[in-house]
Amino acid sequence: MTVTHLSKMRLWLPHSPPIFLNRETLELTVAITSAVTYAFCNKKVGSTALDFDIVIEKNARFMNQYFLLIACLQLWSLITPVNPASTWGPLIFIFAVSATKEAWDDYNRYLSDKKANEKEVWIVRQGIRKLIQAQDIHVGNIVWLRENDEVPCDLVLLGTADPLGICYVELKGKTTAALDGETDLKTRMIPSACMGIDGVIECPRPDKDIRRFDANMRLFPPFLDNDVFPLTIKNTLLQSCYLRNTEWACGVAVYTGKCNETKLGMSRGIPEPKLTAVDAMIDKLTGAIFIFQIVVVIVLGVAGSVWKDTEARKLWYVQYPKEGPWYELLIIPLRFELLCSIMIPISIKVSLDLVKSLYAKFIDWDDQMVDLETGTRSHAAKCCISGRLYGNENGDALTDAELLNAVSSGSTDVIRFLKVMAICNTVIPVQSKSGEISYKAQSQDEEALVRAAAHINFNASLIQYEVLDILEFTSDRKRMSVVVKDCQSGKIFLLAKGADEAILPHSYAGQQIRTFAEAVEQYAQLGLRTLCLAWRELDNDEYQEWAVMFKEANSTLVDREWRVAEVCQRLEHDFEILGVAAIEDRLQDGVPETIETLRKAGINFWMLTGDKQSTAIQIALSCNFVSPEPKGQLLMIDGKTGDEVSRSLERVLLTMRITNSEPKDVAFVVDGWALEIALRHYRKAFTELAILSRTAICCRVTPSQKAQLVELLKSCDYRTLAIGDGGNDVRMIQQADIGVGISGREGLQAARAADYSIGSVSGTSLFNSVSLMAYNVFYTSVPVLVSVLDKDLSERTVMQHPQILFYCQAGRLLNPSTFAGWFGRSLFHAIVVFVITIHSYAFEKSEMEEVSMVALSGCIWLQAFVVALETNSFTILQHLAIWGNLVGFYVINWIVSAIPASGMYTIMFRLCKQPSYWITMFLTVAAGMGPVLALKYFRYTYKSSKINILQQANVWEGQFLLWGT
């Protein structure tokens, strides 16, 4: 088989070409020609080239297209009412700002990429170590790393300093931690049958799943019958990890930074331009304004055209040409369009972007935010070994004298139980310099168990076991087992632990499992998380036979997980149940209060957990998630068959509908099985249930079900916030809209931003270009930016009356009715400014520059007072911004008025000397703000019933908080 043939043959498979290992030179030959490589192009890490995507993406949104259209129209001098600079200036400014920001980001990325690219790494070539730059690593190179080195690309481990072939890596930074569970330190080991042997690594096309690497290693020449060795993620060193606790390690590069195809690079990926809810709302409202604008334009355009034909032609001093060009009809509407274009000010975009990034910064900075992370801490508490329960009502089994006695007296059952506890896990012990041993585990439960086992201690006698195979835990299997060989006796054991329903049914025929089931139930009632521990002695032959199958299953490239599970199933039977360990899932301080607070805030909670139903209910009760009887009521949805589930669902739905008006907390409880059926066959009924209930407990759910639930809720137009502790919840978290909390505030800002857009409608044709431009960019955005710093209420008040948050969500969010309120007020202000200006500056004072400046000043004054009225807490920053903006307006205009060449030369000085100017300003402010203040006060004090109605009307617009455990 020729190389090319091989490559071609492989191409249509979803795998990349194989990589050949060669023993003599320890160099890898990459057996592909460039013609068939899709992946090995010679690009460096990352790509800093400014690509057009950014530009296109920027323009993808309606608003941007609109601005561009307006700016282009401005270039047509026949229709521009003002200098084109008034649109182009801001547009260029805005693009310059965002381009600068992007360029800065790019530059930083370039720097870090460059650093990564030029970092020197050791590679082994011809048996000699050589230093090369990271960017020159090719697929197939052998990279040699020392302790604490950063891994430059994805490697398959070939050797480490440890004789057992183990090394440790630490994941770096938030990104990976967010993607991959809790612990940072991970064990990595070299593939079992490999130490400098020729071979080929067959690996799949690079993907972004950093928890999977389903590859194979094929050795040359085949010296065993089964020459394929499975490679998993455990055999890899992924880019950007750090090598820890290992003197050195070397590995062969499989995915390099070129083309960004390392797993990390891909999972970091290209961030999808995600439109947040606020963005969508703003786009919607902008669309609404746009439609309004079009209507205005058409009406005014027609009126203007008619006026032109009937009246303006008589104005001899205007010298209208007798015959206009063919497009004459369009001119007046288009002019109005340009005039109205500032209804949607360009600054709204700048403001929003700035507001967003500022909020992000503040959230990043906020210390208190950390406290909000609710979570659970596991703690081994009680156990039941062969029918005896250790650990009293409120005590720990660890301190139970009986247990300690049993240990010291050498009760076989107890010792076996502890052995399983100590061995059947994937915990990594780490010894710190001070000699303390700490355990790093994938799950906190495991850590708790090992800690407990270590605590009890086996009389200091050392028993050595060799771990032959690990049958890993998956959320579908709900158990894990290890196959170990007792080094002394040579016997092989299968040690297993897992959820009760995954272990108990697999016990050997004669065992009494009733006591264990009872113990499980009893512990679950206490809200403890239970684990059953079991073991079985294996026949040597049985094991050998099985081991072959297991290896085979582990080497499959397709559906590996499923195959492995199937093989594991064959070994995991006839268990001898040793006992039940119960782990207290102790809630962090303040969780009940937090949940109470959030619930009062009108946030709907769903708890999605993998725990047993009774455990879940207990936890839910203990953290105020549901109220105990008689105030609360739990409705069960269960059943094994479709009919049963359907009936149960109907019943719950009925109860739900009836009790909806009662002041009762009704929650429904559904388990994974029933949920599966409900989601598949009774989706409609379940959706209705989801809408009706404010609280739900879903237990025994799988990760994919969690994601499905989120999807379901999203489809009901709920905004979902998923909280999970990684691992199982990743899919759910990815599915949910994140960042709802921010959006409430942001939305408010947007409403404000939108207001000022409209606040400036009046008399615009009067304004000259410079001030219009300045108004467009600065005056409208500065006060809005300041409101970022605004706090509606103090934290304490919010904590005392969390319902207010609900009000915020329902009523004050950027919704069309608030928007209409802002709109109406703006219109009122526009009329006030216009009427007052034209009347107080009538007759001999009717000079264009002066009148325009009076109107503009009126807008600025009103705006300052509107912001002041809407600001709830004044800090020095607010004062600075609001009044500074006002002062800034005068300073800028004085400066411009001092330039003889400018159109408004001396205007501002002249106005400021006139008493009538100031009198007009005060009049404008009083006339504009008086009614607003009165209305606000009235609503604030006497119209709370309205809010009440509003709340009820909006009650189903709440949000969901999915609490994954």
d(CA 571, CA 955): 53
Site for another protein in 159-218 (CB under 8 A): 162, 164-166, 168, 170, 173-174, 184-185, 187, 189, 192
Decide if residue 661 touches another protein (CB under 8 A). yes
Q: Which of 927, 961, 963, 964 binds another protein (CB under 8 A)?
A: 927
Site for another protein in 17-76 (CB under 8 A): none
How many residues in the shown chain lie near another protein by CB under 8 A? 128
**C-alpha closest to that of 18 among 185, 158, 216, 177:** 216
**C-alpha closest to that of 787 among 856, 863, 855:** 863
Decide if residue 316 touches another protein (CB under 8 A). yes
Decide if residue 445 touches another protein (CB under 8 A). no
Decide if residue 877 touches another protein (CB under 8 A). yes
Task: Return the number of the residue (588 or 875) whose C-beta is nearest another protein.
Answer: 875
Q: Give me the residue label for tokens 């709340």.
A: 951
d(CA 152, CA 240): 6
For the beta carbon of residue 514, count every other beta carbon within 10 angstroms. 10
Decide if residue 665 touches another protein (CB under 8 A). yes
Position 115: which residue type? Answer: K
| Residue-by-residue DSSP string for 435-479 | S-EEEE-SSHHHHHHHHHHHHH--TT----EEEEEEE---TTT-E
Decide if residue 458 touches another protein (CB under 8 A). no
User: Looking at the chain, how many residues does it have?
Assistant: 965
Task: Return the number of the residue (615 or 951) whose C-beta is nearest another protein.
Answer: 951
Q: Among the candidate windows 579-587, 654-662, 703-711, 859-867, which touches another protein by CB under 8 A? A: 654-662
Q: Is 624 left (phi over 0), alpha (psi -120 to 50) or beta?
A: left
Decide if residue 686 touches another protein (CB under 8 A). no
Task: Return the number of the residue (302 or 692) whose C-beta is nearest another protein.
Answer: 692
d(CA 120, CA 143): 11
CB proximity list for 860: less than 8 A, separation 6 or greater: 779, 885, 886, 889
Q: Which helix (H) or strand (E) holds 805?
A: helix 803-807
Q: Among the candidate windows 88-96, 217-225, 523-531, 845-853, which touches another protein by CB under 8 A? A: 845-853
Q: Which of 194, 282, 427, 571 binds another protein (CB under 8 A)?
A: 427
Q: Which of 117, 239, 246, 708 binds another protein (CB under 8 A)?
A: 246
Buried-exposed string 815-826: b where 16+ CB fall within 10 A, e elsewhere = beebbeebbebb
Decide if residue 717 touches another protein (CB under 8 A). no
Residue 738 three-state SS: coil
d(CA 265, CA 207): 9
Q: Which helix (H) or strand (E) holds 199?
A: strand 199-202
Task: Return the number of the residue (364 or 717) whose C-beta is nearest another protein.
Answer: 364
Q: Which of 123, 450, 524, 921 binds another protein (CB under 8 A)?
A: 450
For the beta carbon of residue 319, count every other beta carbon within 10 angstroms. 6
Decide if residue 843 touches another protein (CB under 8 A). yes
Q: Which of 734, 794, 817, 820 binds another protein (CB under 8 A)?
A: 794
Decide if residue 930 touches another protein (CB under 8 A). yes
Site string for another protein, 772-791 (x = CB under 8 A): -----------------x-x
Q: Which of 412, 431, 525, 569 binds another protein (CB under 8 A)?
A: 431
User: Cis omega before residue 230 (within 30°)?
Assistant: no
Site for another protein in 501-560 (CB under 8 A): none
d(CA 817, CA 187): 56
Q: Which of 24, 120, 311, 629 binds another protein (CB under 8 A)?
A: 311
Decide if residue 874 touches another protein (CB under 8 A). yes
Task: Return the number of the residue (249 or 732) whose C-beta is nearest another protein.
Answer: 249
| Residue-by-residue DSSP string for 412-438 | HHHHHHHHHHHHSS--EEEE-TTS-EE
Q: Which of 515, 803, 815, 818 binds another protein (CB under 8 A)?
A: 803
Decide if residue 112 touches another protein (CB under 8 A). no
For the beta carbon of residue 327, count every other beta carbon within 10 angstroms. 10
Q: CB of 119: closest distance to another protein in angstroms?
A: 19
Q: CB of 664: closest distance to another protein in angstroms?
A: 7
Q: Which of 473, 516, 806, 819 binds another protein (CB under 8 A)?
A: 806
Q: CB of 851: closest distance to another protein in angstroms?
A: 4
Task: Return the number of the residue (68 or 947) whose C-beta is nearest another protein.
Answer: 947
Q: Which of 135, 232, 239, 245 binds another protein (CB under 8 A)?
A: 245
Site string for another protein, 343-372 (x = CB under 8 A): ------------------xx-xxxxx----
In terms of DSSP bridges, do strands 719-723 and 959-964 run parallel, antiparallel, or are they unpaired? parallel
* 8 Å CB contact between 668 and 693: yes
Q: Which of 315, 799, 887, 895 binds another protein (CB under 8 A)?
A: 315
Decide if residue 658 touches another protein (CB under 8 A). no
Position 668: which residue type? Answer: F
**C-alpha closest to that of 472 among 408, 400, 561:** 561
**C-alpha closest to that of 137 among 297, 23, 16, 28:** 28
